[in-house]
Amino acid sequence: MLKQIAVYLENKKGKAAECCKIIKDQDINIEAMSIADTQDFGILRLITSNNEKALAALKANNFIANIVELVGVEIPNQPGALAILLKELDEDNINIEYLYSFANDNGQAQIGFKTDDIEKAAALLKSRGVKTI
Amino acid sequence: MANRYFNKEIETMSHSEKEVLQSERLVKMVKYVYDRVKPYREKMDAIKLKPSDIKSIKDIYKLPYTLKHDLRENYPFGMMAVPRKDLVRLHASSATTGKLTVAGYTQKDIDVWAECGARSLVMAGASENSVVHIAYGYGLFTGGLGIHYAAEKLGAVAVPVSSGNTARQIQLLKDFEADIICCTPSYAIYLAEQMQLMGIEIGKDIKLTGGLFGAEAWTDGMRKEIEQRLGLKARDIYGLSEIAGPGVACDCEFETGLHFQDDHYFPEIVDKDTLEPIGYDAEGELVITTLTKEGMPLIRYRTRDIASLSNAPCPCGRTSVKLNRVTGRSDDMLIIRGVNVFPSQVESTLLEFEGVEPHYHINVDRINNLDTMEIVVELSPSVKIDEVKTIEIMRKELAAKIASSISVSAKITLVSPGSIERSEHKAKRVTDLRKLK
Ligand SMILES: [Zn+2]
């Protein structure tokens, strides 16, 4: 399973930047990042080179943060690959709460997504021959 | 069958007899303080009021008010009406400013206080056969010692456990088979939770039947919860350290308001802005005059508590004036869209809500001629959030709880732990921007 850190950001300018700086100061790389934003607040989601250490640093700075497991899959770096994956998930009645994509060191496209039952989702994808991470 | 009254003659006295008694006592009291307490003499001289101008309880409104400020100015002994050798006890309470206020008691004052406490214990169903578990703090605070002397006066067994050490509290409640418990409402709920965790059976291991709870603001919801979880009848007891601790007023099983021990403490309600006396059944600031106190008598003491008084008869047969539940203090009260709101009500809702801490700040503003209220509250460090909807659901649920508690809708803003400023003394909980406009 893929692990990410989710951080609650109250709507204060600079909170996301502050969060990234805390992680950078620990010599931790941010490998992927997405922000879910509303009018009043946001949730920052991060995959880093050392999630445990990043989490401890954030908590020490009074951020509300926790580690959340995602389903991670690797998809061929070609047009339409993501669409195929999404269609398969839909056929299996797997509801995606949120999703983000990033590239690994070899330039391979990777997808991380959140769903109700990540174990079940990962097993179904595996049985369809999708490479999970 | 438990006693119905501790002092039937006084507690069921007719209104006309009570008025005669109160008048005699007030006339005597005014002369007493004029002769013995310089600040009272100065205040009366300043408005050319002579003790002889006070002929009955109906003249009480002529007397000047006494403020907490007067007690601080004359700290420690300037408000005492007897030489220090005649005092037998001093209690003190901390004020918001960090300064103490002190109250001195003579032996007779202690006896009167114990009598009023004993009347309250009887309202909670206690008798001379009772075991009274006292989990109020003992010390300068009046709670523990106040109920202690009341239990002894009643002839019951006082168990002076004081506060803290919950495991031992539960052990003693079991072993001594206490039927009456006295503590703060929030501690009663905590005790119930701990008992549940320890697998204690209410009714079998714990045989409580009644309790006196006070010294902090609580809601009817908390009363029901305490009654249900501890299997007892919860009575609301009122007191304040300047006048006397617990026992100044207490409600009976009919819950028609708190029976005010008005043979010793005379209550009035005054408009909190104009300070004009207002009648029964209207809300205002509670003002109390001690009618019999020797050590530190207080004349028309402004309590800052918001309440109303009722003169309606009570099925229990007690004839005293009744105090409605004190929901807040006039120096904290906010009026939002015409509704009285107390930060303490917001606080008790936050305390019950999972996922937030009782660290909060209230912002009030007026936008397009409409009052708006925002409650900024800290999330608990342990909450797990990775989706927007988690926060949205929490805000919606908390907003609904707040609306049902204070009858005003508020915007909820959830902030990170440590965002709200901490204060060593009483925190500043409210920013009212309407005042700046
Ligand atoms: Zn009654």
Determine the distance separating the centroid of ligand 1 and the alpha carbon of B15, expressed in angstroms.
Answer: 15
Contact A41 B386 (CB under 8 A): no
Residues 16-55 of A with CB under 8 A from B: 36, 38, 40-41, 43, 45
Best probe of the A interface among B416, B420, B421, B422, by most A CBs < 10 A, is B416
DSSP state of A105: T
Which strand (E) or helix (H) includes residue A36? Answer: strand A30-37
The model's confidence at residue B113, banded by pLDDT at 50, 70 and 90, is very high
Nearest CB to B413; choose among A6, A40, A97:
A40
Do both A61 and A87 map to the same domain? no
Do both A63 and A7 map to the same domain? yes
Report d(CA A4, CA B68) in Å as an integer: 56
* Bridge partner list, A132: A73
Contact B381 A59 (CB under 8 A): yes
Query: For residue range B23-64, what is the model confidence (pLDDT) as tens digits?
Result: 999 999 999 999 999 999 999 999 999 999 999 999 999 999
Q: Chain B contacts of A39, Cβ < 8 Å?
A: none
The model's confidence at residue B351, banded by pLDDT at 50, 70 and 90, is confident
Shortest distance, CA A63 to any CA of chain B (angstroms) = 6
What is the CATH superfamily name and number for domain B1-330?
Answer: ANL, N-terminal domain (3.40.50.12780)
Mutual angle of helices B220-230 and B185-197, in 10-degree steps: 40
Interface membership of A59 toward B (CB under 8 Å): yes
Shortest distance, CA B386 to any CA of chain A (angstroms) = 5
Do both A84 and A39 map to the same domain? no
B168: number of Cβ within 10 Å: 10
Say which residue, A121 or B264, is predicted with more confidence.
B264
Contact B419 A6 (CB under 8 A): no
Domain ranges of chain B: 1-330, 334-436
Q: ipTM of the predicted structure? A: 0.83
DSSP state of A90: H
pLDDT value at position B327? 60
Do both A81 and A56 map to the same domain? no
Q: What is the pTM of this model?
A: 0.64
SS3 A45: strand
Count of structural domains, chain A: 2
SS3 A37: strand
Query: For residue range B329-342, what is the model confidence (pLDDT) as tens digits?
Result: 556 778 788 777 88
CA distance to A32, B30, B310, per residue, from B279 (Å):
69, 23, 9
Q: Chain B contacts of A98, Cβ < 8 Å?
A: 387
The last residue of a domain, from among A68, A98, A115: A68
Do both A54 and A15 map to the same domain? yes
Do both A115 and A93 map to the same domain? yes
Minimal-distance CA residue of chain B relative to A15: B416
Q: Of the candidates B230, B253, B111, which has an alpha carbon nearest to the alpha carbon of residue B179?
A: B230
Q: Give the residue numbers spanning the domain of A124.
A: 70-132
Interface membership of A104 toward B (CB under 8 Å): no
Q: Chain A contacts of B414, Cβ < 8 Å?
A: 8, 10, 41
Contact A8 B391 (CB under 8 A): yes
Tell me phi and psi for residue B151, to 5 degrees. -65, -40
Do both A107 and A118 map to the same domain? yes
- Which CATH entry fits the domain spanning B334-436: 3.30.70.3270, 3.30.300.30, 3.20.20.70, 3.30.590.20? 3.30.300.30
Do both A8 and A59 map to the same domain? yes
3-class secondary structure per residue, chain B = CCCCCCCHHHHCCCHHHHHHHHHHHHHHHHHHHHHHCHHHHHHHHHCCCCHHHCCCHHHHHHCCCECHHHHHHCCCCCCCCCCHHHCCEEEEEECCCCCEEEEEECHHHHHHHHHHHHHHHHHCCCCCCCEEEECCCCCCCHHHHHHHHHHHHHCCEEECCCCCCHHHHHHHHHHCCCCEEEECHHHHHHHHHHHHHCCCCECCCECCCEEEECCCCCCHHHHHHHHHHHCCEEEEEEEECCCEEEEEEEECCCCCCEEECCCCEEEEEECCCCCCEECCCCCEEEEEEECCCCCCCCCCEEEEEEECEECCCCCCCCCCCEECCCCCECCCCEEECCEEECHHHHHHHHHHCCCEEEEEEEEEEEECCEEEEEEEEEECCCCCCCCHHHHHHHHHHHHHHHHHHHCCCCEEEEECCCCCCCCCCCCCCEEEHHHHC
Shortest distance, CA A112 to any CA of chain B (angstroms) = 13
Q: Is the pLDDT of residue A93 over 80?
A: yes
Least confident segment among A4-8, A81-85, B25-29: A81-85
Q: Is the pLDDT of residue B425 over 50?
A: no
DSSP state of A11: S
Shortest distance, CA B368 to any CA of chain A (angstroms) = 21
Say which residue, B192 or B30, is predicted with more confidence.
B30
Query: For residue range B74-88, what is the model confidence (pLDDT) as tens digits?
Result: 999 999 999 999 999
